[in-house]
Amino acid sequence: MDTLSDAYKAHPLDLGDIIPIDFSSSPAIPDSHTWFQPNDDHFSSDDPASSIPVIDLLDPKAKELISLACENWGAFQLTNHGIPLGVIQGAEEEAERLFSLPTEQKLKALRTPDGAAGYGRARISPFFPKGMWHEGFTIIGSASHDVKKIWPDDHARFCDIMEDYEKQMKVLAERVTEMLFDLLNISEEKRKWVGANDTGTALQLNFYPSCPEPNRTMGLAPHTDTSVITVVQSQSTGLQIFKEGKGWIPVHPHPEALIVHLGDLAHIMSNGSFCSPLHRVTLNEACKRYSIAYFYSPPMDHVLSPLVTGDVDSAAQFRPVTVKEYIEIKAQHFGNSLSLIRI
């Protein structure tokens, strides 16, 4: 069975697009990371009334509310999700422990140019002229291969905590995906992969160092996720979702919630009725920010074919593609990928 790394093999990155700068020795924003000039006004005003909904998973109306959120936003915050607070905090502490290491130690686990796992800049970096104020660490399957390079004698704690985190996220992601598939009337045949062990999952630890001039640079540049769903934990502000006609809308993290985004694969499967929202991360002058994103996707050979109901107006908007084919298209064409498979 192909893996995520197999999908990236044909599109290796330049080392310059993998190695982050040393943010601790950058008291000012270097030109390579300057996105906006001092008087640019790129940051929209804060209107909490119009942000993504907070949904209680135990609410009897949860499925209806999720349906509305997927159509209107493609994202929501989820409370009563069943993941113990200790698991969430434990994973964040480990992320903090890893990113606090000196640069030379983190670079021992640098992602290879044609690989998917390890330490480095966001995969989308080559599509933007400027660098992001961000470091990432991607885990696919077990973290131990990469973490042993960083902590040869002390990798077990990190690996155990991340393994437990992934197990718990898998249960939640399966539950939410089943709800989405019920809403879309996806057949048993097409949802057989949910709950299997060979799905295309990945865990991404994100670190956004505090930044001397947060309005002149970018944490994570605007992108849509590739997954069916992504479950994100972060207690800090900074995440913004683009809403047509409204602009960039901040997400105010609910203290007990996890954030769920739909990715491009959900947009394709729903034949465009569920959004795959464009989102980005902004920075803070005083605080570092951590987040952990769990990407849940079908296995690489799964064929994505949009749901059609048989009505005249419900003709398929996208041609069938395998997950691997879509990831390869996205590795090459990024933001244009959905239009390249549109019929």
Ligand X SMILES: C=C1C[C@]23C[C@@]1(O)CC[C@H]2[C@@]12CCC[C@@](C)(C(=O)O1)[C@H]2[C@@H]3C(=O)O
Ligand Y SMILES: O=C(O)CCC(=O)C(=O)O
Q: Compute the distance between CA of residue 208 and CA of residue 282 in angstroms, rounded to an integer.
A: 9
Find the binder of ligand X among 95, 122, 211, 283 (CB under 6 A).
122
Of residues 225 and 264, the one with the C-beta less far from Fe ion: 225
User: Least CB distance from residue 202 to ligand Y, whole Å?
Assistant: 10
Judged by CB under 6 A, does residue 279 bind ligand Y? yes
Of residues 168 and 206, the one with the C-beta less far from Fe ion: 206
Judged by CB under 6 A, does residue 251 bind ligand X? no
Q: 307-311 contacts: CB < 8 A, separation 24 or more?
A: 307/184, 307/185, 307/186, 307/269, 307/270, 307/271, 308/271, 309/185
Judged by CB under 6 A, does residue 51 bind ligand Y? no
Kindly report the backbone phi and psi dihedral angles of residue 205, in degrees, each rounded to the nearest multiple of 5, phi listed first. Answer: -90, 125
CA distances from 224 to 85, 163, 267, 296, 334 (A): 27, 26, 10, 14, 9
Of residues 55 and 266, the one with the C-beta less far from ligand X: 266
Q: Which does 138 bind (CB under 5 to 8 A by kind): ligand X, Fe ion, ligand Y, none?
A: ligand X
Distance of alpha carbon 191 from the chain centroid? 22
Find the binder of ligand Y among 52, 232, 307, 327 (CB under 6 A).
232
User: Least CB distance from residue 5 to ligand X, whole Å?
Assistant: 9
Judged by CB under 6 A, does residue 276 bind ligand X? no
User: Least CB distance from residue 223 to Fe ion, whole Å?
Assistant: 6
**174 to 213, contacts with ligand X by CB under 6 A?**
202, 204
Judged by CB under 6 A, does residue 125 bind ligand Y? no
Of residues 115 and 136, the one with the C-beta less far from ligand Y: 136
Judged by CB under 6 A, does residue 282 bind ligand Y? no
Q: Can you tell me which residue has the tokens 């330490």? A: 119
Is residue 318 within 8 Å of residue 342, measured between CB atoms? yes
Given its phi and psi angles, is residue 286 left (phi above 0), alpha (psi -120 to 50 degrees) or beta?
A: alpha
Q: H-helix or E-strand containing 222? A: strand 220-223
Structure tokens at 136: 């990432």
Residue in 97, 280, 289, 342 annotated catalytic:
289
Structure tokens at 293: 């994103």
Residue 223, amino acid:
H
User: Least CB distance from residue 28 to Fe ion, whole Å?
Assistant: 28
Mask: binding to ligand X, 80-119, rule CB under 6 A, as x and -? Answer: ------------------------------------x---
User: Least CB distance from residue 220 to Fe ion, whole Å?
Assistant: 7
Find the binder of ligand Y among 88, 266, 293, 327 (CB under 6 A).
293
Q: Compute the distance between CA of residue 55 and CA of residue 269 in angstroms, rounded to an integer.
A: 23
Judged by CB under 5 A, does residue 225 bind Fe ion? yes
Find the binder of ligand Y among 77, 177, 206, 297 (CB under 6 A).
206
Judged by CB under 6 A, does residue 300 bind ligand X? no
End-to-end CA distance of the chain: 28
Find the binder of ligand X among 290, 295, 296, 326 (CB under 6 A).
295
Catalytic residue flag (residue 289):
yes
Within a 10 A sphere around the Cβ of 16, how many other Cβ atoms? 11
What are the catalytic residues?
Answer: 289
